[in-house]
Chains A and B, each alone.
Chain A
Amino acid sequence: MTTLDQHVGTRPIPNPKKSLITKLNAGTGLIVGIIFALLTYRGLSTVLDISVYELNNRVLLATMFMWSIGFLAGIGAFIGPIRWLIGEDLTAEEQLYMAGDGQGIKRYFKYCTDHKVVGIQYLWGVIVLLAVGGAMAMMIRTDLANPGGHFITPSVYNSLVGLHGITMIIALIIVATGPFGNYIMPIMIGAADMAFPRLNALSWWVLFTAIPVLCSAWFLGGIPTGWTAYAPLSVQAGPGMNAFIATIIIFAISTAVSGANITATVITMRAKGMTWNRVPIFVVGATLSVAMAIPAFPTFMLAMIMTAMDRSFLTGFFDANVGGTGWLYAHLFWIMGHPEVYVILLPGVAILIEIVPVFVRKPLFSYTSAIVGFAGIVGLSFLVWAHHMYMSGWMPMLNGPFMVTTEMISVPTGLIFLVILGTLWNGKPWLKVPMLGVYAFLWNMLVGGITGLYLSDVPADMYLHGSMYVTAHFHYTLMGAALTGAVAGLSYWYPKMTGHMLHERASYISFWLVQIGFQVLYLGMFIAGAEGQPRRVVDYAEQFATSNKISTMGAYTIGIGFIVLLWAVIHSWRHGKIAPMNPWGAKTLEWTVPYPVPLVNFDTPPVVTSDPYGYGRSAK
């Protein structure tokens, strides 16, 4: 950072001609990655007989990891560390070059350390993942439109369910902290960049290498396990499972890197005067979310390493015949799995809480309650994992305690509602698209929360567990609350990220299509679940026909809604109305910088004297 600062005043166009860095980009990354993968596959398959189950798994896993390493080498991720090994570092020119200043659109395809570039890279990554996951959802709903339909085979269907699940989970984990956490958050806290700009680039490009790996699952026969990948089904599964395992391990590395970076940035790089009680709530939400991911994801990574060892070396961690147990997998998975849903939820909710005061023109009601609510959710989320295992037969004795901790989460969640309602009360909300998301959230989170109450109750879960009811419930929380928050954040920060306003009419139309379609889709699914339809089934009995038809109609409506939004995002990027510096009249720091945001964000480092919620006429 200091090197950058020193060179900004008399900035020559950086042109370290002889440096290797100038010659590397995503193209060279692809080439080296593919070469590494091919060499690994060819080399290992001559030594190991790939017709044998465990040997084939070894070859495939090694190939996937070598692709990832090769890509990172080819894009220049290791140049810095190698210089350190030989006792040197990048020169100042090289560092400035890596920040990508003045390189136009090319910098988005390079190992670029500028947090604003990384934010845009994440945004498009998320859009691609959501589009792929959404297309899979459309295929699932098309198959389920009629009972006895043979639109797709059971094998393809099971793969769709699993890959839709993991694609959307990955997309939603990064949907807010990726684009907005990288682009907006450093500006929001008055920093010049992230604490570790090179790690920032690393976290994106590591994640990027996971995407082709995940896609390769299709060409290796798909995955039969759903995104939960329960053992022993995952050990029994075919070669496509290796793609799932490698994706999770690569993704866990990316989140660890990014989590450490965001946490360090917020702790150490806040503007002068930004004490902890003046930090914008989005920053709090995003930081708590990644801080929660730091201990949570390694357990998933560990579960995947153990699955990989069971598959590649027949170790039997999860094989009951040799003393292992599938319950061990379920524990490791859900110790990640339940914090993970709050990793997804918190940044989305925090965006909405950030939006409310701006559009109601009132201070945030009870900032402390929002913090206590977030902290309560984070704390409790680590104590509830076994509510996913009430019916597994593991320790029925402990179902009661886990029910208590689970239902306690409704109290901090209630505080989040109070903060939003208290801010709305006595105000006249300005119903721009971002603010509409707040209302959608209130309804969706209410439904998601209440249906969660039934599911948290052991006797009721005895009936509902594993049914479509569960599917509808978590879509209400993850999609209805978290994704709605992220979409609201997109229309809120789009002016700052692109310099143009997001097409207003199109985003209104998209909002209503998506939200109405959403209610129709999951109302149908709640009914199907209550009627007794298990989840993840390719086919169902005649009695569920009506509710499934309703769901499919809702799904298509959502699909159309998101296509409209995608059009608006692409169209407005260049042709949208030119955005003023602060279109919403907000008081957070990101609205004090012009577009395009300068390389180090602020000409003079800002000094903060109050929290950013000083709206409202003073009391008489």
Chain B
Amino acid sequence: MSEHDSVDLKPTPGDRLANFYKRSDVIQSTIFGVIVTGIFVILGGKFYTKWMPTVMSTDMKAIERLMVVFTWIAAPVCGVVLGVALYTFLNRHSGDTQPPDGPATRTNGPIVLLWSVVTSLLALTAVVYGITELNSSSIASAKNAEDAMVVNVTGSQWVWTFEYPKLGVTSHELMLPINHPVTFHVNSVDVNHSFWPVQLGVKVDANKVAETTAETTPNKLGEFDVKCAELCGLYHAYMETTGEVMTVDDFNNWVVAQGGHSA
């Protein structure tokens, strides 16, 4: 009789799974996890676009979208980690004596496998998405390379200088015509600087002798900031200037006013 009972009491894997979903710790952790995931999804969609400055090029738009999508990819991970963490934190043992022993679970093969596969897939998603973006931006810049306007950018301690070789203009402010692709050829005369027209969403270091390039197409009228993003000595913080994306007419007028010849 008793033998028969003990056989009956042993739950089948199916029963264990069914019971698993009824356990209060599972339910509570899941609720916490879903709430956390929801918060990250909502905040991820709102906050970066709020914090980041005006989008003035397709590159900047892509970056903003990427920040949002990556937050969404990360949201379920946050949900799982913080769901379990919050549940156990709230169900803690208090007092000055150590708690009773828990179950002696050494490992759980399927869980370890599932966890590894899911995190690998999430990482893969991020990799594929990033590579795709990288690829499409380099295709776009290759396509624009032919008719792009070249601007030679020179960093020196602690001034940016912009030279428009075809137009015969040199300036310390970066004026750009709207919807016209531009290629920056970046150099330095002294130490490393990093050329960062913030709202255009591109950045590249200025090195001595070795020229670097960056391409973008501004698509919104208005002023933007140009900064230095690499510590370059005493007045690094003040190595900034302004730029403006103008209509083509305004740009041509500016070029003529600077003594250059209009394109």
Which residues of A are at the interface with B, using a C-beta cutoff of 8 A?
A: 154-155, 158, 161, 224-226, 228, 230, 232-233, 236, 320-321, 325-327, 359-363, 365-369, 391-393, 399-400, 403-404, 407-408, 410-411, 414-415, 417-418, 421-422, 424-431, 439, 442-443, 446, 450, 453-454, 456-460, 462-463, 465-467, 527, 530-532, 534-541, 584-585, 614-619
Contacts and interface: CB of A to CB of B under 8 A. Distances in A.
Contacts of B66: 454, 457, 459-460
Interface of B: 25, 48, 51-53, 59-60, 62-63, 66-67, 70-71, 73-74, 77-78, 80-82, 84-85, 88-89, 91-94, 98-108, 111-112, 115-116, 119-120, 122-123, 126-127, 130-131, 133-134, 137, 186, 190-192, 194, 196, 198-199, 201-205, 207-213, 225, 227-238
B99 A428 contact: yes
B76 to A, nearest CB: 12
A205 to B, nearest CB: 33
Contacts of B126: 407, 410, 453, 457
Given A442-B85, A458-B134, A617-B101, 16 more contacts: A360-B102, A393-B186, A403-B127, A403-B134, A428-B93, A431-B94, A453-B70, A454-B66, A458-B130, A460-B63, A466-B196, A466-B203, A530-B48, A532-B227, A616-B101, A617-B104
B89 A616 contact: no
A320 B74 contact: no
A133 to B, nearest CB: 18
Contacts of B74: 450, 453
A155 B104 CA distance: 59
B116 A532 contact: no
Contacts of B227: 532, 534
A414 B71 CA distance: 16
A363 B98 contact: no
B62 A365 contact: no
A614 to B, nearest CB: 8
Given A393-B205, A430-B98, A534 B70 contact: no
Contact of A369 (B82, B112, B208, B228): B112
B229 A429 contact: no
Contacts of B234: 154-155, 158, 224
Contacts of A362: 101-105
Contacts of A462: 59, 63, 201-203
B104 A421 contact: no
B186 to A, nearest CB: 7
A428 B89 CA distance: 8
B91 to A, nearest CB: 6
A361 B232 CA distance: 53
Given A428-B93, A460-B70, A392 B207 contact: yes
Nearest to A470: B229
10 contacts: A158-B236, A230-B191, A327-B207, A361-B102, A404-B131, A422-B111, A459-B59, A466-B196, A532-B199, A532-B227
Nearest to A357: B102
A391 B203 contact: yes
Contacts of A320: 207-210
Given A363-B104, A392-B205, A415-B116, A442 B67 contact: no
Contacts of B102: 360-362, 426-428, 615-617
Contacts of B130: 403, 407, 456-460
B240 to A, nearest CB: 8
Contacts of A460: 63, 66-67, 70, 130
Contacts of A429: 88-89, 92-93, 99
Nearest to A586: B98
Contacts of B120: 411
A225 B191 CA distance: 11
Contacts of A446: 77-78, 81-82
Contacts of A531: 51-53
A458 B48 CA distance: 17
B53 A425 contact: no
A408 B104 contact: no
Contacts of A538: 236-237
A279 B129 CA distance: 40
The interface centre, meaning the residue of B74, B80, B202 with most chain A CB atoms within 10 A of its CB, is B74
A430 B100 CA distance: 10
B62 to A, nearest CB: 6
A361 B99 contact: yes
A158 B59 CA distance: 32
Nearest to B235: A154
A366 B204 contact: no
A534 B229 contact: yes
A474 to B, nearest CB: 15
Contacts of A415: 115-116, 119
Nearest to A421: B84
Nearest to B208: A320
Nearest to A235: B191
A410 B48 CA distance: 22
Contacts of B100: 361, 428, 617
Contacts of B84: 421, 424-425
